[in-house]
Amino acid sequence: MTNALPLPDFVHERVEVVTGRRSGLFISVALHSSVLGSALGGARLWTYPHWSDALGDALRLSAAMTLKNAAAGLDAGGGKSVIGLPPETVLDADRRRAAFLDLGDAVESLGGLYRTAEDVGSTTEDMLVVSERTAHVVGLPDAVGGSGEPAGPTSLGVYASLVATLERVVGSGEVRDRRITVAGLGQVGGRLAERLASEGAVLTVTDVNPAKRTLAARLGAAWVEPSEVHLVPADVFVPAGIGGVLTDDVIDALDARAVCGPANNPLAERAGAERLAARGVLYAPDFVVNAGGVIYLDFVAKQLGSREAIMDRVAGIGDTLRQVFTEAETRGVTPLAAAEGLAADRLRVGASSTALV
């Protein structure tokens, strides 16, 4: 019997798959595109039921990074790395360090075509370990002169996107008294919820970690179970956790006027964009909304302006999303298709430029 792996189409420039010689863990570094420059994308440390699931994640996430970096106007290609943990694996400090040394070796093998950074499950301290094996890493801790944690810039970009989304669906970007549901209170979702609460939003929140109820109580936010969060009436639903949450069933039951959040690949299927549109739900494409962190990391690494100027550039994500919404309305397509078109235009220009070299 043939085992059909749940993998997307393979359109990548290069993929490295290794068993870490120190850690014994599955590691994949996926370079989707370097048309616009050295690829940039984080390193995910996550538990997967099978190694093929980890590989599939690397392939999907790296392709999404190509779209994200292109739509954000960066001279950077798309890539991603994944360290896959078998079920019920718990890393002690020594094996964790070994895993990121192994990752550093894998990144180095691409010769600078891919730069890694922290992502879900990894930290700036982990990137410091990676830097022992390769120079092609960004987002090192502030204490060693690095750019530090990118969750703050990511959250700023999401906030700017949420304002642009509110303008579109209710006619004003004013957050006060707007019903906003945040599903996921991690580094980005938690920061966003803090800001929204301080500005008077009517918040509903959830997280797979029940300990986050403490944050909800401090913010004065209503708490619901993760399985019911999409049923809460909202002006904007903010997916801020894992991807794939917007299945057909969730979309059909979703009680929100718009979706705008930092989760990567929140649509379980690409056709979900049309399904949302058919229900009159405005969808802000994730790879536009959540680009703040990668903009910040790329600009800091290349020393493209002061920190203040870079954060202003991150806040400009709101204007990019306004452009996407306008283009979608003009062309009669979904915002997802409009955003993909924006990215494709930049990639065509980059490919043409590369072809002339």
For residue 181, give every residue at least 6 positions away whose Cβ sits within 8 Å of its Cβ, in sequence order, or none: 203, 204, 205, 206, 229, 230, 232, 234, 236, 237, 238, 256
Please report the domains of the chain, with CATH numbers, ordered by start residue: 14-60+78-144 (3.40.50.10860), 151-291+318-344 (3.40.50.720)
Determine the pLDDT at residue 243: 83
Sign, Cα dihedral of 132, 137, 139, 143: positive
Determine the pLDDT at residue 2: 41
Length of the chain: 357
For residue 134, give every residue at least 6 positions away whose Cβ sits within 8 Å of its Cβ, in sequence order, or none: 104, 105, 107, 108
Determine the pLDDT at residue 1: 36
Determine the pLDDT at residue 235: 98
Q: Which of 42, 111, 118, 124 is nearest to 78 (CA)?
A: 42
184 is in an annotated binding site: yes
pLDDT digits (tens, 9 = 90+) for 330-344: 999 999 999 999 999
185 is in an annotated binding site: yes
Determine the pLDDT at residue 242: 81
Q: What is the separation, in whole angstroms, between the first and last Cα of the chain? A: 48
Q: Taking CA 39 as the corner, what is the angle to CA 37 and CA 40, rounded to the nearest 5 degrees?
A: 125
Can you spell out the DSSP letters for 80-94?
EEEEEEPTT----HH
The total of other beta-carbon atoms located within 10 Å of residue 170's CB is 14
Determine the pLDDT at residue 8: 61
80 is annotated as an active-site residue: yes
Can you spell out the DSSP letters for 245-258?
-B-HHHHHH--EEE
166 is in an annotated binding site: no
pLDDT digits (tens, 9 = 90+) for 48-84: 999 999 999 999 999 999 999 999 999 999 999 999 9
Q: Which of 263, 232, 266, 234 is nearest to 166 (CA)?
A: 234
Determine the pLDDT at residue 349: 84
20 is in an annotated binding site: no
Determine the pLDDT at residue 355: 36
Q: Is 167 exposed, middle or buried (0-12, 13-18, 19+ CB in 10 A)?
A: middle
Determine the pLDDT at residue 352: 53
pLDDT beneath 50, residues of the chain: 1-4, 354-357
36 and 74 in contact (C-beta within 8 Å)? yes
Determine the pLDDT at residue 281: 98
Determine the pLDDT at residue 356: 31
